[in-house]
Amino acid sequence: MSPLALLPVFFDLRGKRAVVAGDGEGAIWKAELLAASGAHVDVFSPDPSSDLQALANEPPAGCVTIVARAWTASDIAGAAIAVAALDGDDAHAFAAAASKAGVPVNVVDTPGVGTFNFGTIINRSPIAIGISTDGAAPVLAQTIRGKIEALLHPTLGSWALAAKDWRDVVKARLPMGAARRDLWRRFADAALAARQRPDRSALEQLFADTAPSKGGSVVLVGAGPGDPELLTLKALRALQSADVIMYDRLVGTDILELGRREALRILVGKTGGGKSCRQSDINERMVSLALEGKRVVRLKGGDPMVFGRANEEIAACREAGIPVTSVPGITAALGAASQLCLSLTDRRRARRLQFVTGHSESGHAPEHDWVQLADPWTTTVFYMGARTLHEMLPKLLAAGLDAGTPALAIAGATTDQSRHIVTTVAGLKAAIATLDHGQPCLIIMGRAVGTESAAAFLADRNAAQ
């Protein structure tokens, strides 16, 4: 797990005493927030405003009591939480008194003085989401809040309440295990998609859709070329409901962290030219885990159906009677083209686009139709071709490919380690030698790489690297 600047926690303040000292918008807002959480809020203010009095008259929940004097250290004792909307020495003194009394304390708009911070809050009660930037960028937190608010319908909280009411019914009708977990997964999907409050018929529909399950399942999930923001929503849901995640070596930790925390993570990566897991071992482990009732996510770089040996894994699952599905991902060629704003099908330069493997089962270059690959009106993308380029180039040139054809080599496409070089077919070997061999490398050949706009853009990007 990556380090956390702050630990996000949630206080249960229902029926508990909270202390607020000060006046102004900061004190009023924090008093309202604490009252909304069900706290009994004592506000110490020598000159309470009319807005503060209005809050005391009509709190959102809990209660608000105004004490028209300055705070003292004894006022803080026994409180569950304390907040100061004060300045200077008075703010520091309040924080020190609260800390001495063992009370969590926040000082409004003064990072580093209290023991906790209030994050930006999204309220879909009983669902509450807090966003914090550790005080570094409050406006960024507000922007993030706006993005999340747009995704979560106001009725979402009512679905959470329904889950609480229905939990005993589900326990009584479904035993603990895969069927119950599957029902709650489908409940979550329905809740996120809903635009109205749930009723009992929604629960009955979930039960009606529950089929008996003797085992688990396998989902082949495309992780995309490396940037976690390119992961699909369907892939994210699969990761967050997984019992086991079997992942390739090139899948980054930032993508793995999006998976369910309790999921077992198993590295089954293949290293070009180095030690690798045998495909038969991967198939056997994957099927074995699914037969134990596990929901297995086989997480692959790019798209599972593009040079990902998906057919072998699908066949193994079907032979064992394991349900298997696939979630597409952005394949590396499309990720690289998007990153570089390079059209692979420029209508002036390319009539065809082809994805080609540069690596056969033997470890050498496959026996391609080299004349087809040498077509000057085709954009050709070679996957896993860096190590076999020395075998392929002579055959391509002998088939008629012009050595001056524009070419591009890109390593680590869409990641922070991405680096690319624009060259010609003749210069590819030297270009690839300068790239990081620990990153997957794509080779793109064709006139589309040499378009005026693409060449200028790529040249600028190379100069900046």
Q: Quick one: DSSP state of residue 257?
A: T
Q: Model pTM greater than 0.85?
A: no
pLDDT, residue 462, reads: 53
Q: Tell me which CATH code domain 17-118 carries.
A: 3.40.50.720
DSSP string, 421-448: EEEEGGGHHHHHHTS-TTS-EEEEESGG
* Cα angle 65-66-68, degrees, rounded to a multiple of 5: 155
CB-count exposure of residue 10 (10 Å: 0-12, 13-18, 19+): exposed
Structure tokens of 15?
């029926």
What fold characterizes domain 217-330?
Cobalt-precorrin-4 Transmethylase; domain 1 (3.40.1010)
pLDDT, residue 249, reads: 86
pLDDT, residue 66, reads: 96
DSSP string, 349-376: T-SEEEEEES--TTSS-----HHHHT-T
Structure tokens of 460?
């600028």
pLDDT, residue 460, reads: 55
| Beta strand extents in 301-366 (DSSP E only) | 324-327, 352-357
Listed in sequence order, the DSSP H helices in 199-266 are 200-208, 233-240, 253-256
For domain 333-464, the CATH superfamily is Tetrapyrrole methylase, C-terminal domain (3.30.950.10)
Q: What residue segments make up the domains of the chain, in order of their start?
A: 17-118, 156-208, 217-330, 333-464
E strand or H helix at 172: helix 156-173
E strand or H helix at 191: helix 178-193
**What CA–CA distance (Å, rounded) separates 84 from 95?**
8
pLDDT, residue 312, reads: 94
CA distances from 149 to 33, 131, 198, 306 (A): 18, 12, 20, 36
Is residue 380 within 8 Å of 368, Cβ to Cβ?
Answer: no
**What CA–CA distance (Å, rounded) separates 20 from 10?**
18
pLDDT, residue 461, reads: 53
DSSP string, 67-94: E-S---HHHHTT-SEEEEE--HHHHHHH
The whole-angstrom distance between residue 433's C-alpha and the CA centroid of its chain comes to 33
pLDDT, residue 316, reads: 95
**What CA–CA distance (Å, rounded) separates 254 from 265?**
13
Which residues have a catalytic role annotated? 248, 270
Is residue 443 within 8 Å of 407, Cβ to Cβ?
Answer: yes
Residues of the chain predicted below pLDDT 50: 453-454, 457
CB-count exposure of residue 225 (10 Å: 0-12, 13-18, 19+): buried
pLDDT, residue 453, reads: 44
DSSP string, 367-408: ---HHHHT-TTEEEEEES-TTTHHHHHHHHHHTT--TTSEEE
Pairing label, strands 441-445, 406-411: antiparallel
